[in-house]
Each structure stands twice: as structure tokens, then as C-alpha cells.
Amino acid sequence: MEVLPDHLLLKICGKLRFEDLRIVSVINSRLSRISLDPLLWARFPVSSDRILSNIQEFTSIRRFKKLRRLEISALRRRVLKPEDISTLFSYLSANTNIQFIRFSNLDLSSVPGFPFSQALVSVSSLSLQGCDLTTEQCIALLR
């Protein structure tokens, strides 16, 4: 492994399943650095429970910086803390890789219209089933 250049190891890691990539990430420091590249993890889903349990931590984890899809669902209507909403929408604005967002049963009404639409308008698929939204947010999103 020591003779293989980083770019080849990155390609090999790109073919691994989720479980295998997690194992590779703890073998040694070189493989950890390579295997934690955010683009390798972009194709894997992250559970709603993991995200909702600590939004601050989720958005700070390097390997989740370029996710392609984000699904956050609550069984019952869920009100998020203002700092969590702010962090989540900052993450969405910064992640230009994200193409699919599905939020279910979240109260998003505290997000101002412009930051709301700015964070969501560039995705190809958006679902806000059962979410609480304001008229301002809906107008900003449809402009």
C-alpha cells in the first residue's frame, strides 16, 4: 500500500461499500486522511436520527461536507432550536454538491425567506412534506 500514490488509493476507496470505507478509515493515518475525503462519502445516506441528535456535530464532520442527498424526517412535528436551524441552513448554503433534500415534519417557519430560498433553490429535488413554512418562505422559494 505504501507504494501506491494517493490518487490511486482514492479511486480504490471510491469503489468501496460504506462498511468497508469505515474500516479503511481506521487502518492508519494515511488511509484515514484519504478515506475521509468528503466526495467519497457524498453518495452515502446519513440517518435522520444521527443528524437530529446533534446538528452542530453533523455539520462539522468533514466527510459530510459534500453530501448529495439530505433527508431529515421526524415522526411527529419537530421544532428545532434556532442555533440548529441557523447551522443547518448555513451547511445547506455551503454544500454546492447537494442535489436532493427531503424534510418531513419539521417546523422551519423561523428561517427568514431569503436565507431559506438561497439554501434550497439550487437543488434538483426538494420535498418539504409536513413542514411548517411561512408565506414569505414560499414566495422567496418560488421566485
Do residue 19 and residue 76 come from a single domain?
no
Q: What pLDDT shows up at residue 3?
A: 84
Residue 52, φ and ψ in degrees, nearest 5: -70, -25
Same domain flag for 84 and 25: no
Q: How confident is the model at residue 82 (pLDDT cuts 50, 70, 90)?
A: very high
Q: What is the mean pLDDT of the chain?
A: 93
* Residue 1 pLDDT: 62
| 87 and 43 fall within a common domain | yes
Indicate the pLDDT class of residue 77, thresholds 50, 70 and 90: very high
Q: Are residues 13 and 58 in the same domain?
A: no
> Given a cut of 80, is residue 2 above it in pLDDT?
no
Q: Are 59 and 87 in contact (CB under 8 A)?
A: yes
pLDDT tens string 23-55: 999 999 999 999 989 999 999 999 999 999 999
Global confidence as pTM: 0.84
The count of structural domains within the chain is 2
Q: How confident is the model at residue 106 (pLDDT cuts 50, 70, 90)?
A: very high
Give the 3-state DSSP-derived string for 98-118, with helices as H, strands as E and coil as C: CCEEEEEEEECCCCCHHHHHH
Question: Please, which residues have CB within 8 angstroms of residue 62's CB and are 6 or more apart in sequence?
Answer: 36, 38
Residues 26 and 53 in one domain: no
